[in-house]
Structure 1
Amino acid sequence: MALLEMTGVRKAFGSHVVLRAVDLEIEPGQCVVLIGASGSGKSTLLRCVNLLETVDDGVITFEGRDITDPRMDADAVRSRMGLVFQSYNLFPHLSVLGNVTLALRKVHGVAAGEAEERGLAMLARVGLESKAAARPDDLSGGQQQRVAIARALVTGPGLMLLDEVTSALDPELVGEVLDLLGELKDDGVTMLLNTHEMGFARDVADTVCFLHDGVIHESGTPAQVLDDPSQERTRAFLSRLRA
């Protein structure tokens, strides 16, 4: 059974249709990468999966449940997903460890001692245990993004959603975040992310989906989509990137 399945998903803002009839499946342990120009619907798709946006039509099934059912507890669904934004969204008044353990304590009801233990272990996992007492403003952009990823991972989510997590970083910091995502893939973490980093998509993704005008125009292995695309729109997009 697919971990996540989107069937006929449509989302519009007023008269502007952002997603139209999107179908997508993700198996446990897969890394699925969304590519496409700005405005193609990639971020909206992630927000619909996390129920930050309500779909206008279609069904999203996660862990065997229809999460687009209006009776579904959205907070309960979100507690099973980790969402990382491009802008980190760390709380500046909390320490690094405080940021990482906040959801454990406040949402999942984990006792403070256990939350701290799990938080420190996760910070060690992303190479930042020595920064546990620091404030986010004391960290580089790459370090802040790794903290944000640790915060999303520490609750043990079934699915990680990553929204252009390297786009706000200086070029020299991109590699450290992409290396971490590659390690997460090797560890079997299921990920759905959008990115403009084609090298990462080629090396790490199981499936690459090209979005254009709110539709998945082409999907397949990285070799199929990035090296030998069948659709003219995919070829044109990749040509613009390479130029």
Structure 2
Amino acid sequence: MSLLSIRGVRKTFGANVVLDGFDLDVEQGECVVLIGASGSGKSTLLRCVNLLETVDDGVIELDGTDITDPRADADRIRSGIGIVFQSYNLFPHLTVLDNVTLAPIRVHGVRRDVARAQALEMLDRVGLVEKAGAKPDELSGGQQQRAAIARALVNSPKLMLLDEVTSALDPELVGEVLDLLRELKADGITMLICTHEMSFAREVADKVCFLHHGRPLEVGPPGQVLADPKEPRTREFLSRIIKSGRL
């Protein structure tokens, strides 16, 4: 059984069909990278998996549980999913440590001393323990994004969703975030990632999914999808990426 199973998912916004019968499986410990043009449905898919959007049709199962069932406990489900957006969404008035401990204490009822110890361990893991007392505006963009990843990881999620987490960073800061994602992959953390960093996808992904008009047009190993795509639309998309110097 796949850790994440997406079957026939459809999502519309008014007359705009964003996901159109979407199917995808993500296995335990797998890193699946979503690629495609802007508007192809990548971010909406992540938001549907995290129940930030309600699907119009289809089923999403996480670890065998139908999380799209209207009777499902959305808060409990989200506690098992970590999500990181391209904007860091850190609370500017809180320290890095307080940002990371906020959900464990307020939402999950973890004792403050336990939450603090877990947060410091996670900040150490992402190379930010020395910045625990700093405010977000005292950090670089790369450090803020690593803090956001630490916040998502501190609850030991079953699944990590990462939405263009390097797109808001200056080029020199992209590498430090991608290095962290490589470490998470090596640790066996299951990840579903939207990215335009094709070299990263080629190196780290177990599977690449090319989205076109809300459908998974081509899915396969990175060596096949990125180097020898079968679909003309995939080849067209990658040719534009090559011209931009990102592949």
Q: What's the TM-score bracket when you normalise by the shorter of the two chains? A: over 0.9
Asked if 1:195 is matched to 2:198, the reply is no
Give the superposition deviation at 1:159: 0.2
Asked if 1:206 is matched to 2:203, the reply is no
Aligned residue identity for 2:126:
V
Residue aligning to 1:107: 107
Give the superposition deviation at 1:138: 0.1
Residue aligning to 2:27: 27
Asked if 1:75 is matched to 2:75, the reply is yes
Q: Measure the CA separation in 2 of the matches of 1:57 and 1:115.
A: 38
Give the superposition deviation at 1:222: 0.3
| Structure 1 residues without counterparts, runs of 5 or longer | none
TM-score, length basis structure 2 = 0.98
Q: Secondary structure of the residue that 2:208 maps to in structure 1?
A: strand
Residue aligning to 1:63: 63
Q: Measure the CA separation in 1 of the matches of 2:8 and 2:158.
A: 23
Q: How many residues align?
A: 243
Q: Measure the CA separation in 2 of the matches of 1:193 and 1:56.
A: 23
Q: Measure the CA separation in 2 of the matches of 1:77 and 1:93.
A: 28
TM-score, length basis structure 1 = 0.99
Q: Secondary structure of the residue that 1:60 maps to in structure 2?
A: strand
1:25-55 Cα shifts (integer Å, max 9, x gaps): 0111000000001000000000000000000
Q: Measure the CA separation in 2 of the matches of 1:202 and 1:102.
A: 35
Q: Secondary structure of the residue that 1:227 maps to in structure 2?
A: coil
1:157-208 Cα shifts (integer Å, max 9, x gaps): 0000000000000000000000000000000000001000000000000000
Residue aligning to 1:181: 181
Asked if 1:6 is matched to 2:6, the reply is yes
Q: Secondary structure of the residue that 1:102 maps to in structure 2?
A: helix
Give the superposition deviation at 1:107: 1.1
Q: Give every structure 1 segment of 4 or more consecutive aligned residues whose post-TM-superposition deviation is greater than 4 Å.
A: none
Q: Measure the CA separation in 1 of the matches of 2:103 and 2:148.
A: 12
Residue aligning to 1:159: 159
Residue aligning to 1:172: 172
Q: Measure the CA separation in 1 of the matches of 2:101 and 2:155.
A: 9
Give the superposition deviation at 1:7: 0.3
Q: Measure the CA separation in 2 of the matches of 1:180 and 1:210.
A: 24
Q: Measure the CA separation in 1 of the matches of 2:59 and 2:202.
A: 29
Q: Measure the CA separation in 2 of the matches of 1:150 and 1:104.
A: 12
Q: Measure the CA separation in 1 of the matches of 2:171 and 2:191.
A: 23
1:56-84 Cα shifts (integer Å, max 9, x gaps): 00000001100110001111110100000
Residue aligning to 1:53: 53
CA RMSD across the alignment? 0.4
Q: Secondary structure of the residue that 1:200 maps to in structure 2?
A: helix
Aligned residue identity for 1:19:
L
- Counterparts in 2 of 1:124-135, with a 5 A limit? 124-135=124-135
Q: Identity percentage over the alignment?
A: 71
Aligned residue identity for 1:174:
V
Give the superposition deviation at 1:121: 0.3
Give the superposition deviation at 1:219: 0.4
1:203-235 Cα shifts (integer Å, max 9, x gaps): 000000000110100000000100000000000
Q: Measure the CA separation in 2 of the matches of 1:66 and 1:128.
A: 36
Give the superposition deviation at 1:94: 0.5
